[in-house]
A and B are shown apart, each in its own frame.
Chain A
Amino acid sequence: MRHLLSTRDLSRDEAIQILDVAEDMADVANREVKKLPTLRGKTVINLFFEDSTRTRTSFELAAKRLSADLVNFSAKGSSVSKGESLKDTAQTLAAVGADAVVIRHASSGAPQTLATSGWIDAAVLNAGDGTHEHPTQALLDAFTMRRRLHGAASRGKSLDGLTVTIVGDILHSRVARSNVWLLDTLGATVRLVAPATLLPADISTWPVTAGFDLDDAVDADPDVVMMLRIQAERMHAAFFPNAREYSRQWGLGDERLARLRPDTMVMHPGPMNRGLEISANAADSSRSTVLEQVANGVSVRMAVLYLLLSGSAEL
């Protein structure tokens, strides 16, 4: 793997390999010394053009546990948010000898532009680009699902036969896109549920079924329900009338929660709007994987950095 730009271009074998290496990394996290010397001497840059303490911290921990030198090139208030171009920033990072650039950018495709422009030689890791993709989020979601299903026997397993329902703002969600491609690659069946305004205009080419009715989707007995964060500004742009109506129609409230099987996983990429797209009970129930997702994020990001920078699959 040269870069990780999207899950769409991951093969099934590559995806399972990443998840398996992440299992090894998770083992490291359980040791007394949570650190591997593997990436000593490598420089990883966190290049965040958008604020995201959660994702940035997760990558930071991942890089440090692999003994890489990590530099946060955070954007807010620095030159990158003051109109310095992606090109200038990339050339600066190339000049200081970055081996990998973890990029979060508000523009869809910015990581691909960085990877293909010739401005920099480093491995490019997409940490979320606009409304396009967020591949490590989907990988950590898949990792979490696999662990819930198979526990210690997860290595080598796919998600064949799993049914996953993703609910909410599909149109603007990079998490949804990355999950759709990866879950399909791993053998899961994906159903999308959203108001028509928040589904892309044409998803006929996506490997999914889609509907508007969350109750129908709940009654279809999915193995996983993934709730997406809804942003308040969407109601001002007439995507839906108000928070109360959204919550009533597309929120995972207590009544819907009760209709799910006890072992149905409830997932959320965070940060959650409790009481809007997800009730407090749903977020805190035993079905919820929210905290596992956070922990697994570090393992998956360690795996990806390792595979990108060590050029080997052996630990």
Chain B
Amino acid sequence: MTYLITGATLPDGTTTDLLVDNGVIAETGSSLSQSGATVIDAAGLTALPGLVDLHTHLREPGFEQSETVLTGSRAAAIGGFTSVFAMANTSPVSDTAGVVEQVASLGVRAGYVTVRPIGAVTMGLKGEQLSEIGAMAQSRAQVRVFSDDGSCVHDSLLMRRALEYVKTFDGVIAQHAQDPRLTLGAQMNEGALSGELGLAGWPAVAEESIIARDVLLAQHVGARLHVCHVSTAGSVDVIRWAKARGIAVTAEVTPHHLLLTEDLVRTYDSRYKVNPPLRRTEDVMALREGLADGTIDIIATDHAPHPVEAKECAWDEAANGMVGLESALSVVHASVVASGQLDWSDVARVLSSKPAEIGRLSGYDAAFVVGSPANFTLYDASASRVFGTEHLHGKGVNSPYLERTLPGRVMATIHNGYATVLDGELLDAPTVAESARVHRG
């Protein structure tokens, strides 16, 4: 399949044509032509390297009523993603080579994005015994990221061992930093508002104390640590301190923690219920600054689809989580690009090359360079839309952005040299699956 993209603006602001052939960028420059190529007019569009989400819940196997690898892949593609890392809290838990290989092969078959499974740190996410990390690393799924996300690896000794053990396989532990005792029954950020609303508080210290412990453990054993969904100003300070000491820590922030604040909880609308919870304006500002100065390395969605009944209930009975793949780029645009804190080359770093590097995913280190894999998305930054369920393409409709006006729109996504999105619309599943099959050869 051959595509000729004309007049695209690259993240660095330069304009170029891109010839895509055989899965790679075949040629760049101006006034390219190629007979038989499908031409995509990208004048006025921003070309970004294919987005990589280090934190996606695809729910399969086990929770197919919430999402499947296929539906989650579709949500990813329309959001401009070409790779996602699938969290391990499936059923059965992704704690064996068999399960991670199943998830990976479902991803290959769907073809919309590259699906890289994340392996559980502990068996059954129970926090008691290490899972078969080596078997998962050496499986066809080539797992490099290990996480008990949803639960915190709370036991200090187990966390130390996990950090040490994954070094063997060049892996990384992605920690969901939440002291379970300090957050018993927690429903929202602990502060003035939680007191008023009568909702049990999730104090910032429950996140910050775990991060502080973990960076010291990572330093002690000389291992890599990745911190999931950093949500407080204090956490940014702790990570900044750790990086200054040379500790090998990386951190992610979600789009929703960059845009939304706890004030939304006043509505008791459970679409705003998420873990870690929405925080104060001061936290949002500190997260944006931390992202801009490199303290926070990447943005990851924590896309967490739920069936409607899991949200159609009283606040403290509702499930935690928001869908985020479809809206991520627009929310990043609205929160940190519009404010001038990030430019598009920063976005390319925090949403593509850096998450790929952390997850040891190849092919994302030299975007738009001749010979590199053709994974990119074309974004219309001048567009604006009232976000609605028609813009969601996974199974979940638990988006906090419904009825909000968001900037920008993904117009095309190219994965491994074939289109998954064209003219702002997803290509259908059989077409994409066939393209993927042809690409595999």
Contacts and interface: CB of A to CB of B under 8 A. Distances in A.
A131 to B, nearest CB: 4
Given A108-B187, A201-B191, 12 more contacts: A85-B309, A85-B313, A105-B314, A109-B315, A110-B315, A113-B268, A116-B267, A116-B269, A117-B312, A130-B198, A201-B192, A201-B195
A201 B315 contact: no
B313 A87 contact: yes
B196 A177 contact: yes
Interface in A159-214: 171, 174, 177, 200-206
Contact of B192 (A130, A131, A177, A204): A204
A108 B315 contact: yes
Contacts of B268: 108-110, 112-113
A65 interface: no
Given A113-B268, A133-B198, A107 B192 contact: no
B198 A110 contact: no
Contacts of A112: 267-268
Contact of A108 (B191, B312, B316): B316
Interface in A120-172: 129-133, 171
B197 A108 contact: yes
A29 interface: no
A109 B197 contact: yes
Interface in B190-214: 190-192, 194-201, 203
B312 A87 contact: yes
A65 to B, nearest CB: 30
A168 to B, nearest CB: 15
A85 B196 contact: no
Contacts of B293: none
B181 to A, nearest CB: 10
Interface centre among B194, B195, B317 (most CB of A within 10 A): B195
B198 A129 contact: yes
A140 B312 CA distance: 33
Nearest to B200: A131
Residue with the highest number of chain B CB atoms closer than 10 Å, among A8, A116, A132: A132
Contacts of B200: 131
Contacts of B192: 200-205
A110 B315 CA distance: 7
B312 A201 contact: no
A107 B314 contact: yes
Contacts of A171: 195
A86 interface: yes
Interface string B170-201: 00000000000000000100111011111111
Contacts of A86: 312-314, 317
A311 B198 CA distance: 30
B195 A200 contact: yes
Contacts of B203: 201
A85 B199 CA distance: 20
A133 B192 CA distance: 16
Interface residues of B, number: 24
A206 B312 CA distance: 30
Contacts of A8: 196
Nearest to B310: A85
A167 B191 CA distance: 21
Contacts of A205: 192, 196
Nearest to B270: A113
B366 to A, nearest CB: 49
Nearest to A119: B312
10 contacts: A107-B315, A107-B317, A108-B187, A116-B269, A117-B312, A130-B316, A171-B195, A201-B203, A202-B192, A202-B195
Nearest to A109: B268
Nearest to B314: A107
B380 to A, nearest CB: 34
A24 to B, nearest CB: 32
B313 to A, nearest CB: 5
A47 to B, nearest CB: 12
Given A109-B268, A201-B203, A132 B312 contact: no
Given A109-B268, A113-B268, A201-B190, A177 B198 contact: yes
A113 B201 contact: no
Interface string A223-263: 00000000000000000000000000000000000000000
A82 to B, nearest CB: 14
B201 A201 contact: yes
A204 B196 CA distance: 10
B309 A108 contact: no
Interface in B335-356: none
A110 B200 CA distance: 15
A130 B199 CA distance: 8
A257 B46 CA distance: 74
Most buried by B among A116, A117, A201: A201
Contacts of A206: 195-196
A133 B196 CA distance: 9
A129 to B, nearest CB: 7
A132 to B, nearest CB: 3
Contacts of B195: 171, 200-203, 206
Interface string B414-434: 000000000000000000000
